[in-house]
Amino acid sequence: MTGLAFATHGLTKVYGEGRAAVHALRGVDLEIPQGEIVVLLGPSGSGKSTLLNIIGGLDRATDGTAYFRDQNLSEMSDAALTRYRREHVGFVFQFYNLMPSLTAHENVELVTEIAADPMDPDEALRLVGLDKRSDHFPAQLSGGEQQRVAIARAIAKQPEVLFCDEPTGALDSETGRAVLQVLHDVNARLGSTVLMVTHNASTAAMADRVIHFSDGSIREVVRNTAKLAPSEIVW
Ligand SMILES: Nc1ncnc2c1ncn2[C@@H]1O[C@H](COP(=O)(O)OP(=O)(O)OP(=O)(O)O)[C@@H](O)[C@H]1O
């Protein structure tokens, strides 16, 4: 029996005020079991990144509650939120945000130095198939390879949760599939809950659960009974 990684109740986010107010989340109720791969789909501007940022501890809700296990993120101090991100969460973004002056190994090491229970940076790079490129700088790596370094950096702290915002957005389909395979393997090997925001609807085939967003609300949650392997996904 798996517990819940996340539960939100009436989660609301309003940016700005008055006539300029943007209602990015309109009372979202959501439960995400631990250890699942969850894909968030929805039109541009529907609130997917906003939700990810709030339950990832990067932003705060205007109203409602968001729990990580039994911890209420909405009531945490800034210092506690920082600790939450540092100890439990890995992030992968569309643009890899690697430090250009550091090698692949050093980019990963930067994170393992401040993590509670990190894996060896070499092991993280091996998991993403880049152990032979560990002394290369980001500019010497392809887009897909840089994304895999970013994933190695995110998984090196053995996070309980991995948040991915458009992880394949800048990649061709073959490279994108390789990156999805890495996310799949991390979920299988470390048991990390993986939450992925994407415009690529094909990705939904590898998820345990697909959440359809529209205009700041959840329209539908679909549980996949027959998942596809990343190698079988076509787009
Ligand atoms: N910092 C901000 N200030 C004001 N409005 C914002 C801010 N961030 C997001 N928004 C607005 O909130 C709404 C939801 O944005 P969000 O980025 O969560 O959508 P999304 O579904 O992730 O979109 P996309 O698929 O294009 O990334 C949009 O209307 C957006 O313009």
pLDDT in tens, 83-112: 999 888 999 887 778 999 999 999 999 988
What 8-state DSSP symbol labels residue 136?
Answer: -
What local confidence, expressed as pLDDT, does residue 2 receive? 61
Under a CB-based contact definition with an 8 Å cutoff, are residues 168 and 141 in contact? no
Atom of ligand 1 nearest to the CA of 213: 21
Under a CB-based contact definition with an 8 Å cutoff, are residues 190 and 184 in contact? no
- pLDDT band of 1, cuts 50, 70, 90: very low
Sort 154 into a burial class: Cβ within 10 Å, 0-12 / 13-18 / 19+: buried
The answer to whether the CB of 44 is under 6 A from ligand 1 is yes
| CA distances to 2, 14, 36, 48 from 217, in Å | 26, 13, 21, 9
- Alpha helices, DSSP H, located in 113-172: 121-127, 143-155
- pLDDT band of 12, cuts 50, 70, 90: very high
Q: Which domains does the chain have, with CATH numbers?
A: 34-57+88-232 (3.40.50.300)
Mutation choice for ligand 1 from 11, 48, 212, CB with most ligand atoms inside 8 A = 48
Residue identifier of the C-alpha nearest atom 3 of ligand 1: 15
Mutation choice for ligand 1 from 39, 50, 95, 213, CB with most ligand atoms inside 8 A = 50
Distance of alpha carbon 85 from alpha carbon 76, whole angstroms:
12
**56 token code pair:** 């990832």
Digit-coded pLDDT (tens) for 153-200: 988 888 899 999 888 887 788 878 888 998 898 899 889 999 999 988
The answer to whether the CB of 48 is under 6 A from ligand 1 is yes
**46 token code pair:** 């529907």
Distance of alpha carbon 46 from alpha carbon 27, whole angstroms:
13
Question: What is the model's pTM?
Answer: 0.89
Distance of alpha carbon 199 from alpha carbon 213, whole angstroms:
11
